[in-house]
Amino acid sequence: MELLDLQHENEDLRARLQAATQAIDKKALEFIDLEKKLEEERGRMTCELEKLRERYDRLLSNHHRLSKLNHELEARLLETIDAKNAEKKVLCDELEATKSKLADCERRLSVVSAERNRYKDDCSVAVNLLQTNPDQFLPQNPKLQQVLRGTASRNSDESRANGDCAEPSIVPLFPAFLPTFPPIGLSSMLDLDGSTGPNAPRSHIQGTDTYKIPNSSTPSTNQRPTSAESRCTNFKGTVLTEI
């Protein structure tokens, strides 16, 4: 009986040993498979790590380059700001100076405008006076007066001889002034000795240097000359110049 029991126990132990061996083999296969998977995972992670390291290196180099460029741009920006501030200060100073000059010019313009209006009124009054009675205003020139009287007497004699005009006045009959502004100045060049050469002396009449002829020596009239009187008055070189 003891032998049978030992045999049964031996068979049971063998069966258990076989089962344990099979379990160990199974675990060994599972371990091998797991080791392969882990090895593959390690290789994949190693590749990813290398890629990430390369990417990190590129990003780091780009960061250093961008940092350097940023510093350079900041320095240039500060220099530009300083230059623009200096330019702005200069422009502000020029603007203030220009404003002061503009105010001065406006004041001068107002003064000149007032003077222009005053001179315009004075010239209008003078033109009206000359248009109303031009015979009362003549240049201050005694030689010219003698020439005018001689010329008027000669014209009077010629007119009496021809019988085509009335006796003219010794005062020269100038054309009527135009009612415009600025007024026109009247100048006349007359032969003092009757010569016609290029060196002959001449007398200049300017509309700004005038005086009133006394009524005792020169007959005055408040009427404009007629066409006949205009034809009888013949002065050489009468010209109109605009002031």
Pair (124, 139) in one structural domain: no
Owning domain of residue 210? 134-242
Pair (127, 147) in one structural domain: no
User: How many Å apart are CA 153 and CA 82, to the nearest integer?
Assistant: 89
84 or 184: which carries more pLDDT confidence?
84
Pair (216, 179) in one structural domain: yes
User: How many Å apart are CA 176 and CA 223, to the nearest integer?
Assistant: 12
Phi, psi torsion values for 29, nearest 5 degrees: -65, -45
Q: Residue type at 66?
A: L
Q: Which of 90-99, 124-133, 205-214 has the highest mean pLDDT?
A: 90-99
**pLDDT value at 46 more than 90:** yes
For residue 57, tell me if it sits in a domain.
yes
Pair (173, 96) in one structural domain: no
**Which residue, 76, 97, 132, sits at the end of a domain?**
132
Pair (141, 232) in one structural domain: yes
The residue assigned the tokens 């009527």 is 176
Mean pLDDT, range 96-115, rounded to an integer: 94
The answer, as to whether pTM is greater than 0.75, is no
**pLDDT value at 241 more than 60:** no
Alpha carbon 218 to chain centroid, angstroms: 60
Pair (159, 235) in one structural domain: yes
Pair (157, 231) in one structural domain: yes
Q: What is the pLDDT of residues 56-69, one digit of tens each?
A: 999 999 999 999 99
Which residues on adjacent β-strands are paired with residue 242?
Answer: 184
Mean pLDDT, range 229-238, rounded to an integer: 38
Pair (201, 168) in one structural domain: yes
